[in-house]
Amino acid sequence: MSLAGWLGDLRVIASMARGLPGQGSAASQLASFYGPQAADYDRFREKLLHGRADLIAALQLGPGQRVIEFGAGTGRNVEYFRDQLDGLAQVDLIDLCAPLLEQAAQRFAGHPRVVLHRADATAWQPVEPAQRVYFSYALSMIPPWFAAIDNAEQALADDGLIGVVDFQVAPRGGSARGFRQGRLARHLWPLWFDHDGVRLSADLLPYLCHRFEPVLIRELQGPMPWMPGFKVPYFVFVGRKRRKES
Ligand SMILES: C[S@@+](CC[C@H](N)C(=O)[O-])C[C@H]1O[C@@H](n2cnc3c(N)ncnc32)[C@H](O)[C@@H]1O
């Protein structure tokens, strides 16, 4: 890694060590946490936020679709389908954090298909429903994550797909698919991430399975940057809207 890369990582680690402030509105807390690390955000998160490319691939984006990312940050995930952008109807990127959205604005300056919205993922709604809606490591940073999922369900077209990739913690006794963690790991990671406003939940994946018909579920673990030998659990979920009972 170059010297600039090392220094950038140190800036990110310093922000993480300070943690998310406990006071102020959600938008101001996010701005003071992410502001000092915004320019270094993408490079560091390449090593931490696993499974994002897999999620985008599993969503099978196609021509004419409207796509929404809730909690989109710098818009990095759009790079995974940049070559398809011209064929899509529109990509809406929603986030509350001004410094990260500023990075996204630089990234997509003048691009006619990408529209940025500084808004809350628990409330923002599109003019027309979208065929693809996804969250990438955002629900664990949204305290009322169930409200964000319900809001996303409303934004999703009836024939659409929702995707989520996020950290998780295994429930006691293991998940429905047999994913388990040792007692130490089950307690260590939630404490570790909580300092940065990232709340690991064993309820997130079951709630997604309750609200949507699962199409794909993977429960995996990925390496932690700067912590050799440590692995953090995450999941990839793709689901479709459940039919309304008549
Ligand atoms: C860990 S970052 C993930 C960013 C991006 N999705 C990615 O994969 O790189 C979590 C994002 O959720 C955003 N966020 C947190 N609470 C939010 C809310 N209530 N509404 C919209 N965005 C929110 C943060 O500002 C941040 O950009």
Looking at residue 153, which CATH number applies to its domain? 3.40.50.150
Flag whether 76 is in a domain. Answer: yes
Q: pLDDT tens, 162-208? A: 999 999 999 888 999 999 988 888 988 998 888 888 999 999 999 99
Q: Specify whether the CB–CB gap between 20 and 193 falls below 8 A.
A: no
Flag whether 157 is in a domain. Answer: yes
Q: Residue 174 is encoded by which pair of tokens?
A: 């293991």
Q: pLDDT tens, 49-90? A: 999 999 999 999 999 999 999 999 999 999 999 999 999 999
Flag whether 160 is in a domain. Answer: yes
Q: Which amino acid is at 48?
A: L
Which atom of ligand 1 sits closest to the CA of residue 142?
16
Residues with CB under 6 A from ligand 1: 26, 30, 45, 49, 52, 71-73, 76-77, 94-97, 100, 120-122, 136-138, 141-142
Flag whether 83 is in a domain. Answer: yes
CA 246 / ligand 1 centre spacing (Å): 36
Flag whether 246 is in a domain. Answer: no
Residues 174, 7: Cα–Cα separation, whole Å: 39
Hey, which of 15, 25, 28, 30 would you mutate to test ligand 1's pocket, going by the most ligand atoms within 8 Å of its Cβ? 30
Residue 105 scores a pLDDT above 90: yes
- % of the chain at pLDDT higher than 70: 99
**pLDDT, averaged across the chain:** 93
- Which range of residues forms the domain containing residue 33? 3-241
Residues 15, 239: Cα–Cα separation, whole Å: 34
Residues 199, 193: Cα–Cα separation, whole Å: 7
Facing residues of 68 across strands?
92, 133
Q: What is the largest CA-CA distance in the chain?
A: 62
Flag whether 154 is in a domain. Answer: yes
Hey, which of 12, 20, 142 would you mutate to test ligand 1's pocket, going by the most ligand atoms within 8 Å of its Cβ? 142
Q: How many separate domains does the chain show?
A: 1
* Residue 246: predicted pLDDT: 56
Which atom of ligand 1 sits closest to the CA of residue 49?
8
The model carries a pTM of 0.93
Residues near 19 by beta carbon (within 8 Å), at least 6 away in sequence = 33, 195, 196, 197
CA 110 / ligand 1 centre spacing (Å): 23
Flag whether 146 is in a domain. Answer: yes
Pairing state between β 231-241 and 130-136: unpaired
Flag whether 212 is in a domain. Answer: yes
